[in-house]
Amino acid sequence: MNPRPWRVRDRLLGGDRPLLMGILNITPDSFFDGGKYSDVNAALRRCEEMLSEGADILDVGGESTRPGASSVSEQDERNRVLPVIAAITKRFDCPVSIDTMKSGVARAALDVGASIINDVSSMTVDPLMLEVPQSFGAGVVLNHMRGAPRTMQQDPVYQNVVGEVRDFLFERVRILASLGLSKDRIAVDPGIGFGKRLEDNYALIEHLEELDSIGCPVLLGHSRKSFIGKTPGLENSDRLHPSVAVAVYAALKGASILRVHDIRATAEALRMIAAIRGGSFVSENP
């Protein structure tokens, strides 16, 4: 598997290296950085920091999707994310992703400058979401999730997790393609931690290249997630170094996009791999 380019509005991103998607949670309850960036100025400072470290894309979310999280109203989500996205797109020339399951939030975010919809439900929670991206030329992330954030970790069971996730994502891509969205606008995410057992997360990362048969860029969102802390010997880890290790492993397997909290550490690790391999794993202008 080699990285695939991702078409986002009028830009063609990546293709020669993994893109780094920096995470910005405008939430009080996200598992890692909840409550840190609810102020617009604090959010802009964090964005500037991530971009200076090598982020290619900024992913803004206003509703926590950690296991057990409760949903928030559309109005609350709009109030959290729209001022931040508007400020980011006014100040920085970079693609911005809206992490939401609500079509109203997605459409409003695209109206103020976002160019990607990252829907952890693969546009199943709100079927109207399927109608949103085409008119904006937006990029899309389709994530595999079994259940809902509040219940997804309650005894998930798979017979063949890699095959089942691949087939689900293939079908969701087929539906979007039938509505006019080309495959190069759709990134697929196996949904690490979204209704998965520990061994399921391992299998999906180990066999990440099997998702390439869908014909879309592959995104991995693994950063600092709880499966790392459940790994034997890493129970007391702050999850930084293991997160970077997974990012490097995914990059070597050809992942197109890595969604991470720790841009600098990930970019430096990829730059080292690039030097050894004689290729380009990160932006030349971090």
**Would you name the residues annotated as active-site residues?**
225, 259
Q: Which residue carries 């290249």 as its tokens?
A: 209
The identity of residue 2, as a single letter, is N
Q: How far apart are CA 140 and CA 217, in angstroms?
A: 10
What are the structure tokens assigned to 40, written together?
A: 């617009």
The 186-189 sheet, strands edge to edge: 186-189, 139-143, 116-119, 96-99, 57-61, 19-25, 257-260, 219-220
H/E stretch holding 250: helix 240-252
Q: How far apart are CA 188 and CA 257, in angstroms?
A: 10
The identity of residue 95, as a single letter, is P
